[in-house]
Structure 1
Amino acid sequence: MHDRIISRRALLTATAVAAAAVTAVPSATVPASAASSPRDRLRRLISRMSLEEKVGQLFVMRVYGHSATEPDQADIDANLAEIGVRTAAELIATYHVGGIIYFAWAHNTRDPHQIAALSNGIQRAGLAQDTPVPLLISTDQEHGIVARVGKPATLLPGAMALGASRSPADVREAARIAGAELAAMGINQNYAPDADVNVNPANPVIGVRSFGADPVAVAGLVAAQVGGYQSAGIATAAKHFPGHGDTKDDSHYALPTIHHTTEQWTELDAPPFKAAIEAGITSIMTAHIVVPALDPSEDPATLSYPIVTGVLRERLGYDGVVITDALTMEGVRQKYGDDRVPVLALKAGVDQLLDPPDLRVAWNAVLAAVRSGEISERRVEQSVLRVLALKERLGLFRDPYVTRRDVDRTVGTRAHLAAADRIADRTTTLLVNKDGLLPLNHRRERNLLVVGADPASPSGTTGPPTGVLATALTELGFSATALSTGTAPTAAGIDAAVAAARGKDAVVVATYNVSATSSQLTLVGALLASGVPVVTVAIRNPYDIARLPGVRASLAAYSWTDVELRAAARVIAGRVRPRGRLPVPVQRADDPAQVLYPIGHGLTY
């Protein structure tokens, strides 16, 4: 039987099984006064669990396939190779996992109706266990450059773009829309907001995923996003504690070290996490980073008792769910083996173990640690209680299911799409506008060429940025053609761009993280030498302008998703005035100690 979206009445029948498991009260052992306490009911549920079921609740795991029971053969093969099970339903039955994370590359997120059906199939599998428990279903839907669910869902500006808008109301509305759409598809936990303060322009992993470099401003926007998501009934996860904003290394591939002193950490990194806690954040994600000032052992924060328990729980007073960043990442695997990492994370004070590379190894390692006494069963039960309490708070024990009607009336609606465009219009930042080149006039500068970078497309794009920009400008009255020259244009590509620019009234160049050795510099220089007016649009980090002093006009779009590129096109065309302000400083390329454009810089017309 396919995982189709079945009627709400039939789904509620299965839900009643889980509800009964939680609400049944043995009168001989529980006083009547405690009968209505959710925590007591959850403790009784835990008391009926086997050790294997308790340990399973601590894991959140990837699984391949669009269906919980009938994935494609290639996904069955991938599941067998990586997890030792065929399907999501088998994963739940075998390991009793407490949550599943969706990825586009795992074929979990083809379209909204499929996602909803997969979510329902996963919940049915959870309720079919000996001890019926619904699952947390999560994903990374930060928006901007990180989005696992694509169109026709609404795609919104990412964090740094929202930081440029400087509007808590916009941040809250964007999160409410995103949360409502996730909830309609049965995704009940989003790994957002990014609470890192991006003070290092060379940061390869955070960058535009951060709201900015001002810890006070970031704290306010983090709190607003938490409120927006949770108003839509979605659990949130502030990340990456204790702060991943000042690093030149990517924890997916290395173990970064943050060299902040305790005082610097308190001033720069802590405020957004404090704000998230005050806003009622439901979970916090740890970082695979070393912070010697907080833990001189140089263990990754994910495995650090002084950081997770000492700082997060005791110093900041947080008692909610703590989840690791993905345990497949090299940052957490360099110092210890895959069998020790989950055990050490739990000993540090973590509750959920996200996506271990080998679930069998990790699950059995935790079981062995409990049976040997290294970890007490009481300690495991503390984390299970936090996880179950979060599920209870989300209403999953009452009704974990979604319907086709939920999807159709919520996901990608006209109102949501229009709101996304309105919010994006307040994010585009005009950095340079010499001699009033912008806005372009479609009667005066009618013929445009759009060239530049074509990075791998995140969800929310319909093609290369050059094509999206050219289409948007054409729809605004210009005659715009696109020529993709890539993030590392070749000499032949540069020559082709210069040739294509002849006879054009202006050239729009999409730039992507321009470095001192990037051939994008050669491309822009050659176009400037041709005499055609050049407008650059930074489609990721806004620092590119520091290396492009000769351009007459420059914008920061903060992402190459359609919603942000369309907004940049409207600014270029003068359909909306630029309103964004830099949420990070742009330093001089030849002297990083000097600020070229400060936080808050942004021109208008």
Structure 2
Amino acid sequence: MRVVVAVMMTGLVMGCAGQSAGGGASAAPAARTETPASAPSRTPTPSPDPASQVEETLAGMSVSDKVGQLFMPVLYGARADTASQENRSRYGVATPAEMIEKYRPGGVILFPWAGNVKSVKQVVSLTNGLQAASPGIPLLIAADQENGKVSRLSPLVTDLPSASVIGATGKPSLAREAAEVTGTELLALGVNLDFAPVADVNINPRNPVIGPRAYGDDPDEVAKMVAAAVRGFHDAGVASTAKHFPGHGDTTVDSHTGLPVIDHSREQWEKLDAPPFRAAVEAGVDAVMSAHVVMPKLDPSGDPATLSKKILTGLLREELGFTGVISTDALDMAGVRKRYGDGEVAVRAILAGADILLMPPDFPKAYKAVMSAVKSGRISEERLDRSVRRILTLKQARGILHEAPKADAERAVRVLDSPAHREVARRINAAAGGS
């Protein structure tokens, strides 16, 4: 685990340094196409140096390759080659494989409601098929698997307790064990990125959206749990995501249905919200997810944090020193769609500092808006390269920059919900005072 994280951070530091010099932008060839294309990207011969591998890959990408890497959509169906009307209406193609070949997204996210999760062997077949369809650069395949209330791969995976139960044990070592179990099971399914752990401090008992998803209401204790969980995911070889920055713990509005406003002063934010995110960054977290919340004392513009350069770039990157990938929360949520259209939201999120655009509700509109912004110079190619470099560095650190490991269905059946993993769940419940 220490070796993997060290490699990752080396690559990320290199990527950050490349920002001032333009990185691969000046060396990249002229754009080959500025619309989705089905032809595979050129895959360079890997260099032995991790940072050089990233730069060589970046240099071989067209503008459309790069723009595709920014997107993480939901694709519909149980197999990569399954046709559906949902895929046709949303992407203009019949199957998930065709969508990946056309747009070359950097990743996808799995959900039961999209027909992605039916059985262990089916999920393995789906993730292998999605990877096989990705030309040149493998996919980040993500799940929103927090356990407890948010368990998108239930009932396939071990029924682990929620973060609040783990927090009640007072033992960060159990947070690490739970994350390692989850990460091990995800990787066996072909999932390499989890949108967990939750780093919010649930200080408002009327919070309608976080609640038991948080480790607790004490910032320092939550910070210990979050750092331990990040290490647990890394023990398993899976990328982790701290969410929802700059903090979603003191809200009475659900950002899925409205736009929460948190009136914390800068001093309150430092004391109440920041500690778990600082701890996650120090533990080497791969990604941080933004929150669709307004914090007017941190940014008086009225924009949610997802669209705030002061928060994503100023606070997270420059002050907390985070050099990894920033993902938006889902862009189909009401909290981020209040002021701007679905195309403009995607552009503004990138300009604010985001790297991954998660689940845009109108993918073609968002894709075209970002492409147009790059062509016009509103998003400079240097800025585009910074995001793509971070995404490629994450993939390189997790061993999927050039070739994704193929998941094995028989092994996954043995690993998921195994007696050893159920025993971890039992010990956590016992330590928390349960049965």
What TM-score do you get using the length of structure 1 for normalisation? 0.64
| AA matched with 1:405 | E
1:555-570 correspondence to structure 2 within 5 Å: 567=434, 570=435
Q: 1:401 aligns with which of 401, 406, 425?
A: 406
- SS of alignment partner, residue 243 of structure 2: strand
Unaligned 5+ segments in structure 1 are: 1-17, 25-34, 429-566, 571-605
- TM-superposed deviation, 1:398: 4.1
Aligned to 2:298: 294
Q: 2:86 aligns with which of 47, 58, 78?
A: 78
1:396-475 correspondence to structure 2 within 5 Å: 396=400, 397-428=402-433
- TM-superposed deviation, 1:84: 2.3
1: CA distance, partners of 2:41 / 2:361: 33
Q: 2:268 aligns with which of 240, 258, 264?
A: 264
Q: Please give the per-residue CA displacement for 1:268-294, whole angstroms capped at 9, x wherever unaligned.
A: 000000000000000000000101111
2: CA distance, partners of 1:114 / 1:330: 32
Q: 1:23 aligns with which of 19, 23, 45?
A: 45
- Report if aligned partners of 2:131, 2:404 keep a CA contact under 8 Å in 1: no
| AA matched with 2:389 | L
2: CA distance, partners of 1:404 / 1:186: 10
- Report if aligned partners of 1:19, 1:398 keep a CA contact under 8 Å in 2: no
| AA matched with 1:81 | S
- Report if aligned partners of 1:230, 1:236 keep a CA contact under 8 Å in 2: yes
Q: Per the alignment, do residues 78 and 399 of structure 1 end up closer, same or farther by CA in structure 2, a change over 3 Å counting?
A: closer
Q: Please give the per-residue CA displacement for 1:352-382, whole angstroms capped at 9, x wherever unaligned.
A: 0000001000000000001011011111111
- Report if aligned partners of 1:134, 1:400 keep a CA contact under 8 Å in 2: no
Aligned to 1:246: 250
Q: Please give the per-residue CA displacement for 1:31-59, whole angstroms capped at 9, x wherever unaligned.
A: xxxx5322222222222222111100000
Matched, 1:122 2:134: no
- TM-superposed deviation, 1:19: 13
1: CA distance, partners of 2:388 / 2:85: 31
| AA matched with 2:387 | S
Instruction: Return the structure number with greater relative CO, CA threshold 8 A, min gap 6.
Output: 2
| AA matched with 2:51 | R
1: CA distance, partners of 2:304 / 2:239: 25
- Report if aligned partners of 2:121, 2:409 keep a CA contact under 8 Å in 1: yes
Aligned to 1:361: 365
Q: 1:321 aligns with which of 321, 325, 329?
A: 325
2: CA distance, partners of 1:244 / 1:175: 21
Aligned to 1:94: 102
1: CA distance, partners of 2:253 / 2:44: 45
- Report if aligned partners of 2:97, 2:133 keep a CA contact under 8 Å in 1: yes
| AA matched with 2:428 | I
- Report if aligned partners of 1:198, 1:210 keep a CA contact under 8 Å in 2: yes
- SS of alignment partner, residue 339 of structure 1: helix
Q: Please give the per-residue CA displacement for 1:10-44, whole angstroms capped at 9, x wherever unaligned.
A: xxxxxxxx9992435xxxxxxxxxx5322222222
Aligned to 2:54: 42
- TM-superposed deviation, 1:340: 0.5
Aligned to 2:315: 311
- SS of alignment partner, residue 387 of structure 2: helix
- Report if aligned partners of 2:308, 2:349 keep a CA contact under 8 Å in 1: yes
1:120-519 correspondence to structure 2 within 5 Å: 120-126=128-134, 129=135, 132-396=136-400, 397-428=402-433
Matched, 1:56 2:56: no
1: CA distance, partners of 2:50 / 2:375: 29
- Report if aligned partners of 2:41, 2:61 keep a CA contact under 8 Å in 1: no
- SS of alignment partner, residue 134 of structure 1: coil
2: CA distance, partners of 1:399 / 1:312: 30
1: CA distance, partners of 2:211 / 2:367: 34
- Report if aligned partners of 2:41, 2:65 keep a CA contact under 8 Å in 1: no
| AA matched with 2:258 | A
1: CA distance, partners of 2:250 / 2:201: 8
- Report if aligned partners of 1:22, 1:42 keep a CA contact under 8 Å in 2: no
- Report if aligned partners of 1:60, 1:98 keep a CA contact under 8 Å in 2: yes
- SS of alignment partner, residue 252 of structure 2: coil
- SS of alignment partner, residue 216 of structure 1: helix
Q: Please give the per-residue CA displacement for 1:95-151, whole angstroms capped at 9, x wherever unaligned.
A: 11000000011111111111111000000001xx2xx01000001100001001112
| AA matched with 1:83 | Y
2: CA distance, partners of 1:213 / 1:327: 27
- SS of alignment partner, residue 180 of structure 1: helix
- What's the C-alpha RMSD, in Å, of the aligned pairs? 1.5
Aligned to 2:6: none
Could you say which structure has the larger radius of gyration? 1
2: CA distance, partners of 1:20 / 1:46: 10
Q: Per the alignment, do residues 91 and 200 of structure 1 end up closer, same or farther by CA in structure 2, a change over 3 Å counting?
A: same
- Report if aligned partners of 2:258, 2:334 keep a CA contact under 8 Å in 1: yes
- Report if aligned partners of 1:140, 1:146 keep a CA contact under 8 Å in 2: yes
- SS of alignment partner, residue 21 of structure 1: coil
2: CA distance, partners of 1:41 / 1:152: 36
- Report if aligned partners of 2:146, 2:197 keep a CA contact under 8 Å in 1: yes
- TM-superposed deviation, 1:406: 2.8
Unaligned 5+ segments in structure 2 are: 1-39
- SS of alignment partner, residue 149 of structure 1: coil
* Greater per-residue helix proportion: 2
Q: Please give the per-residue CA displacement for 1:541-580, whole angstroms capped at 9, x wherever unaligned.
A: xxxxxxxxxxxxxxxxxxxxxxxxxx4xx4xxxxxxxxxx
- SS of alignment partner, residue 199 of structure 1: coil
Q: Please give the per-residue CA displacement for 1:281-325, whole angstroms capped at 9, x wherever unaligned.
A: 000000001011111111110000100000000011111000000
* Greater per-residue strand proportion: 1
- Report if aligned partners of 2:77, 2:116 keep a CA contact under 8 Å in 1: yes
- Report if aligned partners of 2:138, 2:403 keep a CA contact under 8 Å in 1: no
1: CA distance, partners of 2:132 / 2:422: 32
Segment of structure 1 superposing worse, 202-211 or 46-55: 46-55
2: CA distance, partners of 1:59 / 1:399: 18
Q: Please give the per-residue CA displacement for 1:180-237, whole angstroms capped at 9, x wherever unaligned.
A: 0000000000000000000101110111101111000000000011111111011011
- SS of alignment partner, residue 281 of structure 1: coil
- SS of alignment partner, residue 204 of structure 1: coil
What TM-score do you get using the length of structure 2 for normalisation? 0.88
- Report if aligned partners of 1:123, 1:400 keep a CA contact under 8 Å in 2: no
1: CA distance, partners of 2:360 / 2:93: 15
